[in-house]
Structure 1
């Protein structure tokens, strides 16, 4: 066999590189991360909703004041939900706006648990605790089993209640620490400045490490409360009656039923109010009326306590808590990420504030730290935890208090939210904070399973049509190009195998799912591949027609066709990239598949088509007009040589 021209790589080396790529790719397919089951099962790509069925959930925007949310608000909400879906590790999920107030999310496979929290508002507020009913301090104490971190210099160790439990009178409250200080109580922080620590060791729990049973997360979920239509205070006053309304309006502090159980009879009609009716009351009335309970407060519509400029009421450990205005909000947070605290052996959520947010946070913690025993916040902290040194700041997410720690210093840097997190719940909370607060509150609609029957029928019809088309292309290629037709046929097979392997690996690594739109993209890419064959072979004919031998015509035709092939494929790839960026859902799947298949076709062009043609050019069969497929061009060239 003749050596390739100077500057041209040896065809055997190029074919060897292609073979190495196949070996590595299919090693990932059969033995890579996520490869499970039998060898046959490992060859199954991840299929989309329209092929294997899946779950579809509808979120209905809460109408405030009878007005539908603005178009911009709905678009922003859709983008945030899309980011949250992507954070779940899924791809090609459909997140679309339907009508003026609905967002529909569709995921392949069973995903009801993943979908239920996607549209939570995730509005974080940091509020000073300024009031607490006495029943907060009467809950049973459940000490944490985690080892407290070492106390600060001069500080005494403390026993800390676990999340979901509160301390009786005399118990030590959860605390916020910034730096060692005299007289403070250290250890067992709920929100704190992170202590210096080494990176997590190999022994630290991984993201899917098993967590204690029934570990609560700090996010309130559940079905929307009945009766979420907005009501006015006048309507509520009419329902409870003028006498009870007048008595409730005069309350300056909560009525203590422990001393006079019959005192609640004067407010019995307030116990019949629904969540949306309670939300219409002032914060002071919600807090002071004894017959308004936590069940009613929890059933208020989403967003009921989001107003950062107003005092609000919520529940914590079974008692009602009155919270001040929120000087620090979720938008003041710059970064939120899960982390493993080596000292406590627990997962935490680390918060970094923006420049202005850090100033606000420092001012809030300074207020809580410097408060005296006569301040309302100090009285509230005492009601919550018994003997305390400083006021408490509640970290509120949506309608739930994540934690209400005592402030042990002025915090100016990174802070940590701790609780009974595992790796999953810490990541869930961090993602909700990181991807922003949804500007519209939603009620979760029904989540239903989508049948794949129609998709499977369409897939079968599409694959049948693709097979018929491929067969016709192969027949025409062998008829028109003969030996060269085998190059076309083998190239398409290799491209298909590369694409198939890439689909499996990408499905496991980035969650790419193959849908009907993706299959359409791959089929369209076949036309791009066929065009490159025609360009190359017709260039080859031109070179032979000009009097060159097939051996010399092959490299010259390749040099001339290569630029055209690269240009055409580059345009296709750029079009796919632009389409992927500006589109959503199924159209993105089409664009991704088209771009991927085009890139792999270029790989086959350079590592198979050109080197195999170089090898064919040195065979006797290639010089035969009957076998090569060059036909009339070779005969004419041979005739011209004889005449010369």
Structure 2
């Protein structure tokens, strides 16, 4: 809005002079100009210090165009007591920055940056009347309760206005953008306000953790029912994996400010299935080797290379999917992708440094090699014992020595 300044600036540098100008903050008609400002606004002007907090508070201002206001410039060096606005943003047709010459062109210019302002039909009349009333005075250009510029009116202007001063290119373009876009013909009304309890996030977090706990219990129950004693390996590996992931989240939170969101918890829950897949691949390969007639101990060693290749291929696909999702997504989805990728890396680490050594250690014990509770003995696979190769013997004819004095008959 453009408004005459009713009181001199309280401190700081003088505003740039202008050859024709809109002015910062409010403008007024003759009746308003003659009226005295309200005492409350005068008190506000007196108390205004233009400290950073005052400027920020003004930036959130909802003052109306017909009100007197006290405002600071955007540098916080000058304060103004401003009359009601005579020209508002919707009265400005366009504004552009250019070198002083003619209409903002660069021909025959002085090298000085200026802002050229054109008004709408009705806006031109308002602005012309404003310049008649403010010759030799400052007119403020106000956006969101902050004075963007306060040029002085030098003459009556019946056409395009030109604001000049100690502008550089950036200053001139900023001011032209304020005049062109700063005031939109929009008004916002609060239709409804709703207060949300801070416990809502806590309840969602508890719900996510409960879902993760149920999923984990189901995986453990399935492991013990199907793999019997080998379920111990599953439980131990999941516990170690959970510890590694928890430590990673804590360290990342301290180092880069990572926050575990509800979507991130969902990624951790999905990773339980990824880790369970690795156990299934390894244990099923061991079963295949046992069914072929090998002992559990030998089967665990022979099954590892093939299972390792399959697990690495599956984890690579899962990690690439998480990486692509993290790069292409925004918001909470990135939290899901991040925790899924982190859990996948943890799965690879656990299988190599914990699960494989633990299986190699346990299959040396009788419980896992011959007991029907291991879930890996030949009797438990296919419902019957696997065929064991039996060595065949060949009878050999012994050559007996012939007694002395006897002939050997053929």
Q: TM-score range by the shorter chain?
A: 0.5 to 0.7
Summarize the Cα distance change of 1:278–1:611 in structure 2 as closer, same or farther, 3 Å threshold. Answer: closer
Residue 572 of structure 1 contacts residue 595 of structure 1 at CA under 8 Å; is this kept in 2? Answer: yes
Looking at structure 2, the residues matched to 561 and 215 of structure 1 have their Cα atoms a distance apart, in angstroms, of: 71
Which among 90, 110, 114 is matched to residue 230 of structure 1? 90
Which among 289, 314, 317 is matched to residue 153 of structure 2? 289
Quick check: 1:617 aligned with 2:371? Answer: no
Structure 2: stretches of 5+ with no match in the other structure: 1-7, 15-48, 66-87, 93-118, 155-160, 176-180, 392-410
TM-score normalised per structure 1 = 0.38
Which residue in 1 is equivalent to 2:246? 500
Looking at structure 1, the residues matched to 266 and 182 of structure 2 have their Cα atoms a distance apart, in angstroms, of: 37
Looking at structure 2, the residues matched to 643 and 505 of structure 1 have their Cα atoms a distance apart, in angstroms, of: 59
Looking at structure 1, the residues matched to 310 and 256 of structure 2 have their Cα atoms a distance apart, in angstroms, of: 33
Quick check: 1:459 aligned with 2:296? Answer: no
Which among 575, 586, 594 is matched to residue 321 of structure 2? 575
Looking at structure 1, the residues matched to 317 and 307 of structure 2 have their Cα atoms a distance apart, in angstroms, of: 16
Tell me the alpha carbon deviations over residues 609-629 of structure 1, each in whole angstroms, 9 at most, x when there is no partner: 001111112222221232322
How do 1:191-590 and structure 2 match up within 5 A? 221=56, 222-224=59-61, 226=63, 229-232=89-92, 233=119, 234-236=121-123, 238-239=125-126, 242=129, 245-246=131-132, 255=136, 275=143, 287-289=151-153, 322-326=165-169, 329=170, 451-590=197-336
Quick check: 1:640 aligned with 2:378? Answer: no
Higher relative contact order (CA 8 A, sep 6+): 1
Which residue in 2 is equivalent to 1:600? 346
Residue 311 of structure 1 contacts residue 324 of structure 1 at CA under 8 Å; is this kept in 2? Answer: no
Secondary structure of 2:91's partner? Answer: coil
Which residue in 1 is equivalent to 2:116? none
Aligned length: 280
Residue 459 of structure 1 contacts residue 516 of structure 1 at CA under 8 Å; is this kept in 2? Answer: yes
Secondary structure of 1:473's partner? Answer: helix
Which residue in 2 is equivalent to 1:76? none
Tell me the alpha carbon deviations over residues 513-556 of structure 1, each in whole angstroms, 9 at most, x when there is no partner: 11111111100011111111100000001111122222221121
Secondary structure of 1:566's partner? Answer: helix
Secondary structure of 1:641's partner? Answer: coil
Looking at structure 1, the residues matched to 50 and 373 of structure 2 have their Cα atoms a distance apart, in angstroms, of: 73
Looking at structure 2, the residues matched to 278 and 236 of structure 1 have their Cα atoms a distance apart, in angstroms, of: 22
Residue 474 of structure 1 contacts residue 485 of structure 1 at CA under 8 Å; is this kept in 2? Answer: yes
Tell me the alpha carbon deviations over residues 274-322 of structure 1, each in whole angstroms, 9 at most, x when there is no partner: 6599999xx8xx52239xxxxxxxxxxxxxxxxxxx9757xxxxxxxx2
Residue 528 of structure 1 contacts residue 598 of structure 1 at CA under 8 Å; is this kept in 2? Answer: yes
Looking at structure 2, the residues matched to 274 and 442 of structure 1 have their Cα atoms a distance apart, in angstroms, of: 9
Structure 1: stretches of 5+ with no match in the other structure: 1-134, 140-164, 168-213, 256-263, 291-309, 314-321, 330-394, 400-439
Q: Name the larger-Rg structure.
A: 2
Looking at structure 1, the residues matched to 282 and 320 of structure 2 have their Cα atoms a distance apart, in angstroms, of: 22
User: How many Å apart are 1:633 and its aligned residue?
Assistant: 5.2
Secondary structure of 1:628's partner? Answer: coil
User: How many Å apart are 1:632 and its aligned residue?
Assistant: 4.1
Secondary structure of 2:357's partner? Answer: helix
Secondary structure of 1:536's partner? Answer: helix
TM-score normalised per structure 2 = 0.57
CA RMSD of aligned residues (A): 4.3
Residue 625 of structure 1 contacts residue 632 of structure 1 at CA under 8 Å; is this kept in 2? Answer: no
Residue 229 of structure 1 contacts residue 276 of structure 1 at CA under 8 Å; is this kept in 2? Answer: no
User: How many Å apart are 1:497 and its aligned residue?
Assistant: 1.1
User: How many Å apart are 1:589 and its aligned residue?
Assistant: 0.7
Looking at structure 1, the residues matched to 345 and 163 of structure 2 have their Cα atoms a distance apart, in angstroms, of: 57
Tell me the alpha carbon deviations over residues 223-280 of structure 1, each in whole angstroms, 9 at most, x when there is no partner: 15646753234545544673x53466xx6xxx3xxxxxxxx5xx8xx68x86599999
Summarize the Cα distance change of 1:479–1:441 in structure 2 as closer, same or farther, 3 Å threshold. Answer: farther
Tell me the alpha carbon deviations over residues 155-179 of structure 1, each in whole angstroms, 9 at most, x when there is no partner: xxxxxxxxxx679xxxxxxxxxxxx
Summarize the Cα distance change of 1:506–1:274 in structure 2 as closer, same or farther, 3 Å threshold. Answer: closer
Residue 544 of structure 1 contacts residue 633 of structure 1 at CA under 8 Å; is this kept in 2? Answer: no
Secondary structure of 2:90's partner? Answer: coil
